[in-house]
């Protein structure tokens, strides 16, 4: 696990990529994030939005639209923030310092936030072990492997935690992408035949318990946003990933009203900018764009799977926004792609893994295909 005090490695660092690969062609193609490369079209915004402080009425309207979009019980249960990352340490501090258990392997920021809040942090692949924690964290669907847990299993976990005064945090950053029609069968990542020991189903693992599978159920049936009134569940939702507008810096917490009130107090009245509020309200209400984009992303994921498997990689997981592949030659392939001006995500603790985002246009698709073909030769 990365250092909880020092900087964490993330996707999207094109400055570092250019320093590492100074002769790579431009523009650099960033496939290292799980951000939609087909972004929501920005609406025209009046200049006054940039000149004045955010308005409380507009923020309340955004909360109502987000509550409808995410299936929250009430707008009062929705808290807007300048990205979900800003919420992680606040939520982690809601429980006195104790043990935080994180279902891994996953996004390293959760472990860091819990450690900064004073918790002793463990990462486990066994869902049942989370029930003994003071703070339990599940990323659902998971990054980087796309593991998706059923709502019933998470509710059972929340009930066990509640009896001990524990809290469940469910990060649903990739829930908006909808069903993963790109993969109808269980991922090799959850198969006993996987050649990678890190992906095998050991006794007691999630897959052995029948609690995991490909990202194939509907977002509505898996989300816990409608179940937060039990009082010990906090759901985090990202705006920038699905809508392809990460620079807007907008995210949400969905929680019982008493928790939501505390979060708003921590954030203050002007945490989310006026332009972000306006863009979020328009985009979240656009159901037609959401539906067509879910289809477009699923089709692009299918295309990427064909490209990766054709180059000899094994696709072992993912969501419609990114695919996780493994190959013994991952380190060499990373260098080949970087030299071709293509940045993908690597994992120090899983050196055979590479995560690929979706190319944004035909030129990007062609450059990726050419680089993969050159690596195979």
What letter would DSSP give residue 175? Answer: G
Residue 374: the pLDDT is 83
Residue 299: the pLDDT is 96
CATH class belonging to 14-39+289-376: alpha beta
In whole angstroms, give the CA distance from residue 333 to residue 311. 11
In whole angstroms, give the CA distance from residue 328 to residue 1. 21
Residue 195: the pLDDT is 35
Question: Which pLDDT tens digits describe the chain residue by residue (377 residues)?
Answer: 444 545 566 677 899 999 999 999 999 999 999 999 999 999 999 999 999 999 999 999 999 999 999 999 999 999 999 999 999 999 999 999 999 999 999 989 999 999 999 999 999 999 999 999 999 999 999 999 999 999 999 999 999 999 999 999 999 999 999 644 333 333 333 333 333 333 333 323 333 333 333 343 344 578 999 999 999 999 999 999 999 999 999 999 999 999 999 999 999 999 999 999 999 999 999 999 999 999 999 999 999 999 999 999 999 999 999 999 999 999 999 999 999 999 999 999 999 999 999 999 999 999 999 999 987 65
Domain assignments of the chain as residue spans, ordered by start: 14-39+289-376, 53-286
**Single pTM value for the model:** 0.88
Residue in the block written with tokens 């570092």: 16
* Strand spans (E) along 67-134: 78-81, 99-103, 120-124
| Residue spans of alpha helices (H) in the chain | 14-20, 48-51, 56-70, 88-92, 109-116, 151-163, 219-222, 240-243, 257-267, 274-284, 287-310, 330-339, 362-376
CATH number for the domain whose boundaries are 53-286? 3.40.640.10
In whole angstroms, give the CA distance from residue 195 to residue 147. 18
Residue 244: the pLDDT is 98
């Amino acid at each position: 696990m990365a250092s909880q005090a020092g900087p964490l490695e993330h996707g999207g660092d094109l400055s570092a990529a250019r320093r590492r690969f100074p002769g790579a062609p431009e523009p650099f193609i960033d496939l290292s994030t799980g951000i939609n490369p087909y972004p929501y079209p920005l609406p025209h915004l009046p200049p006054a939005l940039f000149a004045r402080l955010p308005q409380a009425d507009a923020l309340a309207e955004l909360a109502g639209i987000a509550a409808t979009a995410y299936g929250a019980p009430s707008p009062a249960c929705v808290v807007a923030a300048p990205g979900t990352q800003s919420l992680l340490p606040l939520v982690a501090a809601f429980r006195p310092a104790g043990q935080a258990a994180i279902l891994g392997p996953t996004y390293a920021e959760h472990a860091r936030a819990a450690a900064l809040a004073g918790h002793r942090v463990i990462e486990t692949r066994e869902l049942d072990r989370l029930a003994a924690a003071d703070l339990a964290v599940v990323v659902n669907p998971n990054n980087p492997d796309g593991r998706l847990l059923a709502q019933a299993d998470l509710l059972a976990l929340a009930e066990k935690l509640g009896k001990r005064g524990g809290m469940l945090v469910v990060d649903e950053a990739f829930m908006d992408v909808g069903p993963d029609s790109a993969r109808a069968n269980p991922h090799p990542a959850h198969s006993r035949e996987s050649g990678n020991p890190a992906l095998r189903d050991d006794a007691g693992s999630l897959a052995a318990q029948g609690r995991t599978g490909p990202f194939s159920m509907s977002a509505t049936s898996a989300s816990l946003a409608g179940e937060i009134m039990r009082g010990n569940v906090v759901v985090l939702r990202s705006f920038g990933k699905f809508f392809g507008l990460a620079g807007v810096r907008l995210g949400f917490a969905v929680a019982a009203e008493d928790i939501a009130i505390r979060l708003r107090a921590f954030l203050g009245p002007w945490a989310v900018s006026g332009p972000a509020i306006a863009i979020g309200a328009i985009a979240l209400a656009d159901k037609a764009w959401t539906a067509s984009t879910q289809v477009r992303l699923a089709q692009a994921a299918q295309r990427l799977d064909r490209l990766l498997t054709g180059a000899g990689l094994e696709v072992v997981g993912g969501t419609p926004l990114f695919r996780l592949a493994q190959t013994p030659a991952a380190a060499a392939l990373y260098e080949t792609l970087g030299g071709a001006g293509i940045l993908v995500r690597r994992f120090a603790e899983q050196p055979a893994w590479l995560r690929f985002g979706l190319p944004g246009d035909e030129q990007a698709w062609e450059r990726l295909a050419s680089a993969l073909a050159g690596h195979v030769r």
